[in-house]
Amino acid sequence: GENVEQHPSTLSVQEGDSAVIKCTYSDSASNYFPWYKQELGKRPQLIIDIRSNVGEKKDQRIAVTLNKTAKHFSLHITETQPEDSAVYFCAASRPGFQKLVFGTGTRLLVSP
Amino acid sequence: NAGVMQNPRHLVRRRGQEARLRCSPMKGHSHVYWYRQLPEEGLKFMVYLQKENIIDESGMPKERFSAEFPKEGPSILRIQQVVRGDSAAYFCASSPRMFGTGSESANEKLFFGSGTQLSVL
């Protein structure tokens, strides 16, 4: 089955710096890759997603890139702010496979 | 349009008791997914249900765990004879149709409820 690995497990940056979180997946048939942000004690919230027919997608300060050949995708956050501090999860899903497989999460800490 | 509603938010049980977790999907959604999150870990798929049917329970433990989504009312995740290892956050998500059919529409996104934090003493 699908396996998603995520790195780093923790990431500390200064406010205003960029943050990059990387994920790799094992199932070449996977075609949907969402990213979720989870604050302490809260629900995971979808922040951006990308499908395999697209190489990059951007939404204000966040962007996701996908390399299908290498089977990896990354989340990029620019101009980080303290409120970006949270745990971020990547996930992958294949067509007709009614479940998301999640990475183990990255704890991002943005210091003022 | 209210989001996915879960209750209770917090549930404390002693070992051996039963836990019942409820999930009301978004209005118009007939597909429900349950995920479990252990402390410091990602979410793990448990079960996928449509109204009155279990479609995929490959992630659910074979014993003590069951799920239903009746024609009327919320979806229920039931854990019998709870043990300390069952302590986790249980999240529910819903969609108007089967997730993963490959469409570009917004219907293909999964939105989660606020979760139930189960603590087993």
pLDDT tens digits, B50-70: 988 999 999 999 999 999 999
Query: How many of the other CB atoms lie within 10 Å of CB of B18?
Result: 11
pLDDT at B111 (0 to 100): 82
pLDDT tier, B96 (very low <50, low <70, confident <90, very high otherwise)? confident
pLDDT at B1 over 60: no
Quote the CA–CA distance of A14 and A109 in Å, as a whole number. Answer: 8
Distance, in angstroms, between A92 CA and closest chain B CA?
10
Answer yes or no: are the C-beta atoms of B91 and B110 closer than 8 Å.
no
pLDDT tier, B100 (very low <50, low <70, confident <90, very high otherwise)? low
Structure tokens at A3: 């396996």
**Region of poorest pLDDT, from A1-5, A14-18, A75-79:** A1-5
Distance, in angstroms, between A76 CA and closest chain B CA?
20
Report the candidate in B63, B68, B70, B69 with the shortest Cα–Cα distance to residue B86. B63
- Which one of A6, A31, A89 has the shortest CB-CB distance to B102? A31
- The 3-state DSSP class for residue B106 equals helix
**Is A44 near chain B, with CB under 8 Å?**
yes
**Is A46 near chain B, with CB under 8 Å?**
yes
Report the candidate in A102, A73, A65 with the shortest Cα–Cα distance to residue A87. A102
